[in-house]
Amino acid sequence: MLQINRNNVNKPRRTPIIAANWKMNKTVEEALALVDEMLDDLDAYEEVETVLIPPFIALYPVVELVEDTQIKLGAQNMYHEESGAFTGEVSALMLREMCDYVIVGHSERRTLFHETDAMINLKVKAALKHDLTPIIALGENLTQREEGSTQNVVGNQLRAALREVSEADAGSVVIAYEPLWAIGSGRPANGEIANGVAKYIRFVLAELYNERLAGLVRIQYGGSVTSANIGEFMSQPEIDGALVGGASLKAADFVRIVARTQEALHQK
């Protein structure tokens, strides 16, 4: 996951990670067509880790398309138990054969499906147990932001998600800062805001573990990310990529986001 900055061999450079969260969109046929349209272009950007996160029903057919590429797959959610009488749920044990990543704690899971911090913590630990990298989503709503509670909300979510997670495991997670007021709204946070929250996330990671680990963990921004604004976020020193929603549903748009991410990498 790490590249070495040749200007300072002692300083690791975090590999940018761009993840496409398709949410509840695309039939299997549509998913295959979308991947086929952008596969060769995405695979050409070797300095960016690209993760496709389709609906569950499309995971198995898509995995065959990306098998001989550097593109990774992720799942949009999972349940913390390995198996059992949990109708409609999917476990980490089932996903590990196809996926490298899984989103945990997305705001839509927190708000629409009432997932608690304790539930999210169980999912994080289950994912890590089965060699899945959790993309832990954190973020405040508009009221919390206006009240000046962003750090308190994000910090508490992070501490809860990593409760009883070892330093060795914590170093491999990905954090996605997704302010609820920006998701799907067309009004993203600006680069300065996102970078400030990411910097605070590293402060909390250092508090929980140490500064070395805080410097290694990759932090994404999510919320109305487009090819027009990705450069602003990627120019920030604490932002390492994006969790992309709507813009990942169109091949040309998503390819441009990945392309501009790689361009920004050389400008940091």
SS3 128: helix
4 contact partners, CB below 8 Å, separation of at least 6: 11, 12, 13
SS3 124: helix
> 103 — phi, psi (to 5°)?
-80, 130
Angle, in degrees to the nearest 10, between helices 191-208 and 150-161: 40
Q: Which of 106, 108, 140, 238 is catalytic?
A: 106
Specify whether 106 is catalytic. Answer: yes
Specify whether 30 is catalytic. Answer: no
Q: Cβ atoms within 10 A of the Cβ of 206, count?
A: 14
Structure tokens at 184: 């799907």
Q: Which of 49, 108, 115, 178 is catalytic?
A: 178
End-to-end Cα spacing for the chain: 18
91 contact partners, CB below 8 Å, separation of at least 6: 78, 79, 80, 81, 82, 83, 126
Could you give the residue numbers annotated as active site? 106, 178
